[in-house]
């Protein structure tokens, strides 16, 4: 750092660094404040009055909040599992085959990504009401409508990520596998899938993030008898911001970050594997 | 690539689940509200599709047209603000040392792993009259006041700004929520940019500002276009941010659509508005495709 900054060392310009720092403050300060005030010993979260875990206890004892929280996590996990499976399969179909109407499928696949969320939300709401989607089912079947909606906007992202990964795949490996007597399933299991894995993990991670981040689709597809975290917190916020909301939000942030860290860890050893069939 | 006829069973196994989901839980619902947009209410829950154009005419009523216009302006203002904030950030990240880049990018993306509702809620505590934005401004004001007090000029007492429940709060909320969407595509293009163009420009006597305006910005155009679309489209349809942070006059088109489908229970009108919003979105996407084409 003793050298004078060259003309292109933009990263060493003070104002640019200050700008970067200010942006991070803008991005993080609200969340940090939200987390800090979940520990604040005051009903109105304006001034710091000392540390307490009271609001965590309150959130824990709020059975409807816990139910909503569990539901949202279950929705995210189910939506991730389904979107990853069907998204990867569709990516394989688009990657491997020529077929009439392919451009139409590709176009339709891009639609859920580009149309405004609220349009998709109201469409799903009208749709489920029209076809008389059964309500009052036992848990977790009562989450079906929300999961179906989440999958509809998550799996196109998985398909895109997986297809991008498959673009680098050498099809000679598949042919070699089949020449050596492996069937379609064995080739998929031992050749294609290991290569696809980083794409699958990235796609699943994206799907889970999108599902946990979602408010709009959940808001419109939640029936009157299903509690979900965003809808529950939304009604709590409308009645006034309380530290309990902060505590519940903090837990959700923690869970999301934790799940992401686990997923990233799962992905890491994959890099060292030799790309190709194992001995 | 092989023809699907060679392996029909494999092909259908791969294609059907996704095609089914797309058709059943996306295209069919859209088709349904498209039909509803030409329908009339025939009771509290029944809608009869009569092919009427009344809903579109009602949606194009000056009141709603004004709302469309206002939504567009708020979204455009928020997108422009996002671009101005994000450009230096993307530039700084792309010029940062290689070992720092993943960390900086992670820091940009990380807030996105928090639910949209939580992030919007977090902004309430920042923007309200007794919020942190005002506390910070008050501290600065007091500091300036102390300085000017030494010079014998007395400042008036700090008046907290009314930030929350206004159009400004909606713009700030959109910028806060969608900033990562702008930084990432900008970073992707700046990262690929050939730095020798910058060197050439500086060697030939252009200043940093001129180099930025005449070399960096044109080269970053694809990234700017992507970022603008990625922020503008969700901003146009937002209803949560305007609902929680906006005031009585911050109703945007998203709020009106939501009301038609929930409280007001006028689904045909809401459906017509949804489709108008979608057409505006498609127009923006087409414009982007056209501009991107011209760049090549």
Q: What is the 3-state secondary structure (H, E, C) of A137-202?
A: CCCCHHHHHHHHHHHHHHHHHHHHHHHHHHCCCCHHHHHHHHHCCCCHHHHHHHHHHHHHHHHHHH
CATH number, domain B62-128+163-295: 1.10.3720.10
**Per-residue model confidence (pLDDT) at position B202:** 86
Q: What does B19-59 look like in DSSP terms, one character per residue?
A: HHHHIIIIIHHHHHHHHHTTEEE-SSS-EEE----HHHHHH
User: A86 and B21: CB-CB below 8 Å?
Assistant: yes
Which pLDDT value is given to residue A260? 75
Instruction: Give the max Cα distance, chain B.
Output: 90
CB contact under 8 A, A114 and B108: no
Q: For residue B95, what pLDDT is reported?
A: 87
Sequence-ordered alpha helix ranges (H) in B132-266: 132-150, 167-192, 195-203, 208-211, 217-219, 221-236, 240-245, 253-261
**8 A C-beta contact, residue B119 and residue B130:** no
Domains of chain A, residue spans: 64-272
- Predicted TM-score (pTM) of this structure: 0.86
Range with top average pLDDT, A5-19, A238-252, B90-104: B90-104
What pLDDT was estimated at residue A132? 81
Burial class (CB in 10 A: 0-12, 13-18, 19+), B202: middle
Pairing of strands B2-3, A97-98: parallel
Which chain A residues contact residue B239 at CB under 8 A?
A: 118, 216
B117 touching chain A per CB within 8 A: yes
Of A119, A118, A149, give the one whose Cα is nearest residue A133. Answer: A149
Region of poorest pLDDT, from A41-45, A233-237, A252-256, B279-283:
A41-45
Nearest to B240 among A29, A212, A215 (CB): A215
d(CA B61, CA B37): 15
The residues, ordered by sequence, that sit 6+ positions from A130 with a Cβ below 8 Å of its Cβ are B32
Distance between CA atoms of B162 and B247, rounded to whole angstroms?
11
- For residue A196, the Cα-to-chain-centroid distance in whole angstroms is 19
Task: For residue B205, count other CB atoms closer than 10 A to its CB.
Answer: 7
The string of pLDDT tens digits covering residues A247-266 is 888 988 888 888 777 777 76
Flag residues of chain B having pLDDT under 50. Answer: none
In chain A, what percentage of residues exceed pLDDT 90? 30
Are the Cβ atoms of B36 and A126 closer than 8 angstroms?
Answer: yes
Mapped onto helix, strand or coil, the DSSP state of residue A51 is strand
The Cα of B218 is separated from the nearest Cα of chain A by a number of Å equal to 18
Q: Is 50 exceeded by the pLDDT of residue A1?
A: no
**Which two three-digit tokens encode residue A81?**
């599992």
pLDDT digits (tens, 9 = 90+) for A60-95: 888 888 889 899 989 999 999 999 999 999 999 999
CB A90 to CB B19 under 8 A?
Answer: yes
pLDDT at site B296: 59
Question: Distance (Å) from the C-alpha of residue A2 to the closest C-alpha of chain B?
Answer: 16
Q: Is there a contact between B121 and B131 (Cβ–Cβ < 8 Å)? A: no
pLDDT of the residue at A277:
45
Cβ partners under 8 Å of residue B201, min gap 6: B210, B211, B214, B215
Q: Give strand pairing partners of B39.
A: B49
Where does residue B188 rank: exposed (0-12), middle (13-18), buried (19+ CB within 10 A)? middle
3-state secondary structure of A32: helix
pLDDT at A241: 67
Under 8 Å CB-to-CB from B133, ≥6 apart: which residues? B126, B127, B161, B163
Tell whether B116 lies on the interface with A, counting CB pairs under 8 A.
yes
Cis peptide before A32 (omega within 30 of 0): no
Helix A63-96 and helix A243-267, axial crossing angle in degrees, nearest 10: 30
DSSP string, B90-157: HHHHHHS-TTTHHHHHHHHHGGGGS-HHHHHHHHHHHHSTTSHHHHHHHHHHHHHHHHHHHTT-PPPP
Q: Is B92 on the interface with A (CB under 8 A)?
A: yes
Which residues touch B245 (CB under 8 Å, ≥6 apart)?
Answer: B120, B123, B124, B127, B164, B165, B169, B170, B172, B173
Cα–Cα dist B29/A110, whole Å: 16
User: Quick one: CA dihedral B267, B269, B272, B274, positive or negative?
Assistant: negative
pLDDT above 50 (res A279): no
Cα B188 from Cα B227, distance rounded (Å): 10
> Lowest-confidence range among A63-77, A158-172, A183-197, B120-134?
B120-134
Q: How far apart are CA B19 and CA A86, in angstroms?
A: 9
Please compute the mean of the pLDDT values over residues A192-198 and round it to a whole number. 89
Residues in chain A: 279
User: What end-to-end distance do the CA atoms of chain A give, in Å?
Assistant: 49
Q: Residue A278: its pLDDT value, please? A: 43
Question: What's the confidence (pLDDT) of residue A269?
Answer: 52
| Residues 257-296 in B contacting A (C-alpha not used; CB under 8 Å) | 257-258, 261, 267, 270-271, 274-275, 277-278, 281, 285
What integer pLDDT is reported at residue A27 of this predicted model? 92
Residue in A27, A192, A188, A185 with CA at minimum distance from that of residue B114: A27
Cα dihedral B113, A248, A142, B263, rounded to 10, equals: -90
> Is pLDDT at A130 greater than 90 in this prediction?
no
> Which SS3 state, helix, strand or coil, does residue A275 take?
coil
pLDDT tens digit sequence for A90-107: 999 999 899 998 999 998
Q: What is the pLDDT of residue A6?
A: 63
What is the fold of A64-272?
MetI-like fold (1.10.3720)
Q: What is the pLDDT of residue B197?
A: 87
pLDDT of residue B195: 83
Task: Please list every residue in chain B whose beta carbon sits closer than 8 Å to the beta carbon of residue A252.
Answer: 114-115, 118
């Amino acid at each position: 750092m003793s050298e004078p900054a060259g003309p292109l060392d933009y990263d060493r310009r003070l104002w640019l660094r200050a700008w970067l720092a200010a942006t991070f403050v803008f991005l993080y300060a609200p969340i940090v404040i939200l987390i800090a005030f979940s520990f604040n010993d005051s009903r109105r979260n304006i001034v710091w009055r000392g540390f307490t875990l009271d609001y965590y206890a309150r959130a824990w004892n709020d059975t409807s909040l816990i139910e909503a929280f569990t539901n949202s996590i279950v929705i995210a996990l189910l939506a991730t599992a389904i979107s990853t499976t069907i998204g990867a399969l569709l990516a394989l179909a688009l990657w491997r085959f020529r077929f009439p109407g392919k451009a139409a499928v590709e176009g339709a696949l891009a639609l859920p990504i580009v149309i405004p969320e609220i349009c998709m939300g109201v469409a799903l709401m009208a749709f489920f009401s029209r076809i008389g989607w059964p309500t009052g089912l036992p848990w977790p079947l009562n989450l079906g409508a929300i999961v179906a909606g989440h999958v509809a906007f998550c799996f196109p992202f998985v398909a895109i990520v997986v297809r991008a990964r498959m673009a680098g795949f050498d099809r000679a490996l598949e042919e070699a596998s089949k020449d050596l007597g492996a069937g379609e399933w064995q080739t998929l299991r031992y050749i294609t899938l290991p290569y696809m894995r980083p794409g699958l993990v990235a796609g699943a991670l994206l799907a889970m993030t999108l599902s946990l981040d979602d408010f709009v689709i959940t808001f419109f597809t939640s029936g009157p008898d299903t509690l979900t975290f965003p809808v529950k917190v939304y009604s709590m916020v409308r009645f006034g911001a309380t530290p309990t909301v902060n505590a519940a939000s903090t837990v959700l942030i923690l869970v999301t970050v934790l799940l992401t860290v686990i997923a990233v860890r799962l992905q890491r050893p994959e890099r060292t594997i030799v790309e190709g069939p194992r001995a | 690539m092989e023809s699907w006829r060679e392996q029909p069973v494999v092909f259908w196994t791969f294609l059907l689940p996704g095609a089914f989901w797309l058709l059943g839980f996306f295209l069919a619902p859209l088709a349904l509200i498209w039909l509803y947009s030409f329908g009339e209410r025939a009771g509290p829950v029944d809608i009869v599709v009569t092919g009427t154009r009344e809903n579109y005419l009602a949606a194009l009523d000056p009141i709603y047209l004004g709302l469309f216009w206002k939504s567009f302006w708020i979204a455009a203002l928020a997108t422009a603000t996002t671009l101005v904030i994000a450009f230096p950030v993307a530039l700084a990240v792309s010029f940062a040392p290689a070992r720092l880049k993943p960390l900086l990018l992670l820091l940009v993306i990380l807030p996105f792993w928090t639910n949209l509702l939580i992030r919007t809620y977090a902004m309430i505590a920042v923007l309200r009259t007794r919020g942190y934005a005002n506390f910070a401004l008050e501290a600065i004001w007091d500091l300036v006041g102390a300085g000017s007090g030494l010079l014998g000029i007395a400042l008036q007492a700090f008046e907290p700004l009314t930030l929350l429940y206004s159009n400004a709060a909606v713009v700030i909320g959109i910028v806060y929520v969608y900033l990562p969407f702008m930084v990432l595509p900008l970073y992707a293009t700046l990262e690929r940019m050939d730095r020798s163009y910058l060197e050439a420009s500086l060697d030939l006597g252009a200043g940093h500002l001129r180099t930025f305006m005449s070399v960096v910005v044109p080269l970053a155009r694809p990234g700017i276009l992507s970022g603008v679309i990625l922020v503008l489209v969700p901003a146009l349809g937002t209803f949560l941010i305007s609902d929680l942070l906006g005031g009585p006059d911050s109703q945007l088109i998203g709020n009106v659509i939501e009301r038609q489908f929930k409280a007001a229970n006028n689904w045909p009108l809401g459906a017509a508005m949804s489709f108008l919003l979608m057409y505006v979105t498609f127009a923006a996407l087409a414009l982007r495709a056209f501009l991107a084409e011209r760049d090549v």
